[in-house]
Amino acid sequence: MPSATAGPQKEVPTIDWLLVCLGNPGKEYENTRHNIGFMAADELSRREGVKINKLRYRALSGEVRAGTQRVLVIKPQTYMNLSGESVKLAGGFYKIPPDHVLVISDDVALPLGKLRIRAGGSAGGHNGLKNIIAHLGTDQFPRVRVGVGAPAHPEHEMIDWVIGPFSAQEKKAVAEAVSRAVDAALCVVEHGVQEAQNRYN
């Protein structure tokens, strides 16, 4: 029997969606191609007036609303290759099914600024997505992929490209793409993947 002095069981608050914004922590990675997910989280934070700065689940987190849906936004602090650790911890705590785990990531296969919304699929060579798939045990979770372009010269190392900064000329297109990525993510949450694809793909 529970002790008479034991307090009531603390209920886990309802979270409907997990919005995973991928990037690498640290000043040296700010405004780099691989950090477009972090940029989207910062844009959402600015729009909603919500701080995404609570350290838990090996991520910085904050909560926003999209219509009637409560959304936990996370910026994993594990470095890109281990992003799935944060997703598994947060998703497990709130019992969020994979089809309500929405990921915003960069994509070198898309031209700069182009969006691609998908309901699931392979990692496409993206190490953050690869690790999330491994931890969730499925690739059937929605994602908003934001084009960052590919290096012009094949001999350019891909890792140097994705952790490289955007040029001054690229920054306007990047800002617009990040804003549209946030719009697309909120659309997925409120209206579903199909509607977001119709509007933003």
pLDDT (tens digit, 9 = 90+) per residue, 91-101? 999 999 999 99
Q: What percent of the chain has pLDDT over 90?
A: 84
Residue 158 banded pLDDT, cuts 50, 70, 90: confident
135 is catalytic: no
The pLDDT of 139-152, averaged and rounded, is: 94
Residue 152 has pLDDT above 60, yes or no: yes
Banded pLDDT at 9 (limits 50, 70, 90): low
Catalytic residue among 34, 100, 126, 135: 34
Distances (CA, A) of 20 to 5, 148, 152: 39, 18, 29
Q: Is the pLDDT of residue 167 over 60?
A: yes
In this prediction, residue 92 carries a pLDDT of: 97
Q: What is the pLDDT of residues 13-43, one digit of tens each?
A: 799 999 999 999 999 999 999 999 999 999 9
pTM score: 0.92
Contact by Cβ (8 Å): 131, 89: no
Model pLDDT, residue 157: 79
CA distance 139 to 148: 22
In the structure encoding, which two tokens stand for residue 61, read together? 């987190």
CA–CA dist 187, 177 (Å, integer):
15
> Please, are residues 36 and 56 in contact by the beta-carbon 8 Å criterion?
no
pLDDT the model gives residue 10: 65
